[in-house]
Amino acid sequence: MHSPLRPALLLAALALFVSTSPAQDRLKAMPGYERFTKMSRESADAVKPGTLAVTWVEGGKAFQYSKDGKRWRFDIAEGKAVETDATKSAPATKSAPGDGTGRRFLGGGNRPERGRQYTSAISPDGKLKAFYRDHNLWLSDTNGANERPLTRPPGTLSPGGGEGKRGSASVTLAPTGGEGWGEGGSAAKRLKFGTASWVYGEELDQLTAMWWSPDGRRIAFYRFDESQVKDFFLTLSHTRINTTLDSEPYVKAGATNPVVDILIHDLDSKATVTVDARDGKPFDNSVVGHYLYGVSWTQDGRELLFHRTNRRQNIMELTAADPATGKCRVVVREEWPASWTENSPAIRWLKDGQRFIWTSERTGWKNFELRHLDGRLLAALTKHEFEVANIVRLDEDAGTLHYMARSGDNHMKLQLHRVGLDGAGERRMTDPKWHHTVDLAPDARHFVDTIQTHDSPPATRLCDADGKVLAELAKSDTAKFDKLGLKRVELLTFKSADGTNDLHGLLHFPSDFDPAKKYPLLVTVYAGPATSAARETFATPNALTEFGFLVAAFDSRSVNGRGKRLLDAIYMKLGVPEIDDQAAGVKSLWSRPYVNRERVGIFGTSYGGTASALALVRHPDVFAAACASSSVTDFRHYDSIYTERYMWIPQENPDGYDGGSVMKHVGNLKGRLMLFYGTADNNVHPSNTLQLVQALQRAGKSFDLQVGPDIGHASLNRDRMMEFFIENLVMK
């Protein structure tokens, strides 16, 4: 989920938790605490990494960097580095403008809070400001003078003297009042312009809801009709004298979605046109145009671009709209009937604003295509049976594309590739036994390459355009790491639960590891769609090992970077294959004499919390304890966009939803379960945990519960979690 299940939360789960106090009151007296505290302090800087951040100068003839507290300049022609005065450094070679995504975030200021959009956008000439207020879109001078509404109450004239139109069809614009007529009516609170539903921000990364044309003479904006959407009510301020109520139109899986439209207002003619995003078809579940997002203007301002999908999200189209008529045409269509399509494929525009590099999964693998705005496929730039990753450099003058791809000796090791813009001359330029991070010179004749693996710390070197190593620049210092006795992390390979695929994991050892002893095992998990637990960047051992545990992280068939067909294994059955694979990962360690198979715990947050709870109740023979934080306990409780992408609607997939429901399996509970939720969680609502609590009580099962008063989507305090695991896996 871009939500409970947001991949970034995997990092949060590994890094661990909201901590409200240095330690819970019993932890200090428990086994391993003193060693954990000592080693955490001493190992904080155990590795001095051999990574360099370089700045290219003189067009790529030299570069500068800091090392050992000094500033250095490396002249490529001379082949050596000399210490330099940082105050007299040559000016850096400027990179091309933009972030490579084609996006321009308007409105400025801090990033909106989770699920929200920027509330204002300044016109390209800096003279006007569009802004959202009271469910409506307004215009003013940039300094705030001359405010006027662009949207008015239904049935009244628009600012241009007539109602908006899609061709000859009338369009109802939004009210200007702040209160509206309440839920269920045609009200201001149920009809809003210049903003989006919370789930659009959360699941479709829609941070903007108004878009100026490049010439500043038109502005496009959202209209959301939420009159049929049920509100979700969240009680807040529990730690104060009086509580408050937060109300949000939040569509649960299978419920009614808001009707979404994009309107375009012409400042000269004062006319407002509704984009015909559904090609004249009514808004329903099957139409491509159910979801509209990823909005931007073409470089010349002649068309408005956006993505549209059907509700099932197995068809996605990049679409162009005529701003004068609202008529639409398809630029690119992606379809994957077996499951879901990528919502927002990476795109890079060429200078002419007509050609672009498109990332497609139509072959089952992410590959690059060169396309034209008129809909033509100009070239299949790559035809790999492995995944491409990010674009490093697009050089139109040279006619080349440099990019990273998962072509190492495993999919976790990214490699630098080069290909012509006609798809010819493709080659890999780096050594596949390493994971690479590269900084390409402006003239593309050299690159600085940082290499590493899970157990080999980073080193940085200079390479020529073909990947030949010219100079070693830096390597990691592991003297303290070795002196402390810290152990390298082990990369595991094991079979998926169905025996069809090799999967990977990482195993962490304590610094005083003794293979003659038996150790309890902790599994840290996320396991959501298209996320990874194993990686080929150097990892220091998880600090929790110093409590006397082994710590493992396992990939599942939900893993990122291995192609669409492997991911299809989880379609319509979240909470089953990926959880079975976590159990398979643990079982792969049973043959090791130092693993105590009777004492295995699992923990995670968000999707990781879901995975932890399900692992305990679906595999009671494998897991003895679980700590589940901010968990979706039944996917019927989660939002429509995320859940239905992977599960479709519960009305048509009841068995799939039951399979991933923790409540349906509580009768199997044998081990110890700790639950945590925040009372202010507006993402994974408290009702998830509370319904699980009810099910456990009705089943007569004992469990532990921790509540975060007025805390949002978060994890249990780490120290309280470790009390729980030590009590149940060490002291018991």
Mean local confidence (pLDDT), 96-123:
63
Mean local confidence (pLDDT), 708-728:
96
- Tokens 């545990």 found at: 549
Q: Is pLDDT above 90 for 108? A: no
Sorted by sequence, the CB contacts under 8 Å of residue 262 that are 6+ apart come out as 220, 221, 222, 223, 274, 275, 277, 292, 295, 304, 306, 321
SS3 (DSSP) at 29: helix
pLDDT band at 317 (very low <50, low <70, confident <90, very high): very high
Strand partners, 317: 308, 333
SS3 (DSSP) at 37: helix
Q: Is pLDDT above 50 for 190? A: yes
17-31, 267-281, 288-302, 319-333 — which is least confidently predicted? 17-31
SS3 (DSSP) at 23: coil
pLDDT digits (tens, 9 = 90+) for 509-563: 999 999 999 999 999 999 999 999 999 999 999 999 999 999 999 999 999 999 9
pLDDT band at 178 (very low <50, low <70, confident <90, very high): very low
Sorted by sequence, the CB contacts under 8 Å of residue 428 that are 6+ apart come out as 405, 407, 415, 416, 417, 467
pLDDT digits (tens, 9 = 90+) for 44-71: 999 999 999 999 999 999 999 999 999 9
Other beta carbons within 10 angstroms of residue 230's beta carbon come to 14
Q: Is pLDDT above 80 for 87? A: no
84-88, 117-121, 312-316, 339-343 — which is least confidently predicted? 84-88
CA-CA distance, 119 to 216, in Å (whole number)?
18
- Output the CA torsion 125→128→131→137 (10° steps): -110
Tell me the backbone φ, ψ of residue 307, rounded to 5 degrees: -95, 145
CB distance 142 to 199 below 8 Å: no
Going by their DSSP bridges, the two strands 459-464 and 469-475 should be labelled as: antiparallel
Q: Tell how far CA 150 is from the center of its chain.
A: 34
- Tokens 């329903």 found at: 284
Helices assigned H by DSSP within 191-250: 198-203
- Output the CA torsion 534→535→536→537 (10° steps): -130
pLDDT digits (tens, 9 = 90+) for 362-411: 999 999 999 999 999 999 999 999 999 999 999 999 999 999 999 999 99
What pLDDT, on the 0 to 100 scale, is given for residue 170?
33
CA-CA distance, 510 to 176, in Å (whole number)?
63
- Tell me what percent of the residues of the chain surpass a pLDDT of 70: 88
Sorted by sequence, the CB contacts under 8 Å of residue 223 that are 6+ apart come out as 173, 174, 191, 192, 193, 260, 261, 262, 263, 274
CA atoms in the 13 A half-sphere facing the CB of 504: 19
Strand partners, 347: 358
Return mean pLDDT, the chain: 90
- Tokens 């306990």 found at: 633
What pLDDT, on the 0 to 100 scale, is given for residue 23?
57
**Among 274, 322, 269, which residue's Cα sits nearest to residue 169?**
274
Q: Is pLDDT above 80 for 177? A: no
pLDDT band at 91 (very low <50, low <70, confident <90, very high): low
Crossing angle for the helix pair 8-15 and 607-618, to the nearest 10 degrees: 70
Other beta carbons within 10 angstroms of residue 31's beta carbon come to 12
What pLDDT, on the 0 to 100 scale, is given for residue 92?
56
Q: Is pLDDT above 50 for 156? A: no
Residue type at 253 in one-letter notation: A
- Identify the H or E element spanning 252: none
Mean local confidence (pLDDT), 307-335:
98
- Tokens 């630029």 found at: 331
Q: Is pLDDT above 80 for 233? A: yes
pLDDT band at 464 (very low <50, low <70, confident <90, very high): very high
SS3 (DSSP) at 427: strand
CB distance 293 to 258 below 8 Å: no
Q: Tell how far CA 722 is from the center of its chain.
A: 28
Domains and CATH numbers, the chain: 8-46+481-729 (3.40.50.1820), 117-345 (2.140.10.30)
pLDDT digits (tens, 9 = 90+) for 405-440: 999 999 999 999 999 999 999 999 999 999 999 999
CB distance 84 to 63 below 8 Å: no
